[in-house]
Amino acid sequence: MGYHLVREAAEIYDVYALYHSQRGDFESVNWLQCDITNHIQVGDLIEDIDPDFIIHAAASADTNFCELHPKESRLVNVDATINLVGIAADFNIPFVFTSTDLVFDGERGFYTEEDAVNPVNEYGRQKAEAERVVLEMYPNTLVARLPLMYGDVKAGGNGNYLRRFIADNNEGKVSSLFHDEYRSIGGAYSIANGIVSLMPNQHGIVQIAGKEVVSRYEFGLMAADVFALNKTLLQSVSQIDFIFVAKRPKNVSLDITKALHLGYTPLSIIEELKLI
């Protein structure tokens, strides 16, 4: 997500991108190494930059890691967020916080911004707490609640789901994909474009996701069609056949009516896959 946000924002703004270990490769961007849990370092950088907007997209997003290491993940997902929104409030800087569909329990799906959160794993609990705190501390915050995402296969980081999926298929590895886990899977290009376009004028929670609700298996079939992959290596499996460290919700699809009314125009899954 950070990769795509930097790329889209750089079309309009002078971007100062903070990174922890993996520096990006966009030459038009000012890259600054930073430990986001070092509150003094972060504060000094923001004071030096004097930004017009702050987008906080950093997260410890591995659900199993968060479940096993709640204290360490909380430093990034909650404590660093509270520090950043406090700085934004002090300097009256519009603030964007990227959250997750995993704040919901997945019992019914198609959740709206007004639905009560009820996370079933530690990552969701941390993000739900962060959502609540940032809006209490600084109402001039846009909470962009995001889905499972896919994006440019050149994007760095271990979180590039699509790149791993394609690489495994090309290497002849079987991909086990859930047919009973549903998400409003969103393309990172569309979502980043939506965040950048909405951030000057919006605050509160806005769900920015894909228009289609699909299972991981259905998404795999779509990607296989676009990238000419071997569908025989795609195995349809059920959540109930696996034991997870962190509990997985069944259906955390998002109602994005609010974002659409605000001018968000996501590509379809097939359109975005073809763009990639």
Q: Is residue 154 left, alpha or beta, with left meaning phi > 0 and alpha meaning psi from -120 to 50?
A: alpha
Q: Rounded to a whole number, what is the largest CA-CA distance in the chain?
A: 56
73 pLDDT exceeds 80? yes
pLDDT tens-place string over residues 186-212 = 999 999 999 999 999 999 999 999 999
- Which residues, 6+ apart, have CB-to-CB distance to 211 below 8 Å? 184, 256, 266, 268
pTM for the full model?
Answer: 0.95
- How open is the CA angle 11-16-17, to the nearest 5 degrees? 95
Q: What is the mean pLDDT of residues 235-240?
A: 96
158 pLDDT exceeds 70? no
Distances in Å between the Cα of 37 and the Cα atoms of 40, 67, 73, 158, 262 are 9, 19, 10, 20, 33
Domains, the chain, in order of start with CATH, read: 2-275 (3.40.50.720)
Helix (H, G, I), strand (E, B) or coil at 272: helix
Using pLDDT thresholds of 50, 70 and 90, give the confidence band for residue 270.
very high
- How open is the CA angle 28-207-38, to the nearest 5 degrees? 55
Helix (H, G, I), strand (E, B) or coil at 229: coil
256 by Cβ neighbours in 10 Å (0-12 / 13-18 / 19+) ranks as buried
155 pLDDT exceeds 80? no
Residues of the chain with pLDDT > 90, as a percent, come to 91
pLDDT score at 157: 62
pLDDT score at 161: 83
pLDDT tens-place string over residues 255-267 = 999 999 999 999 9
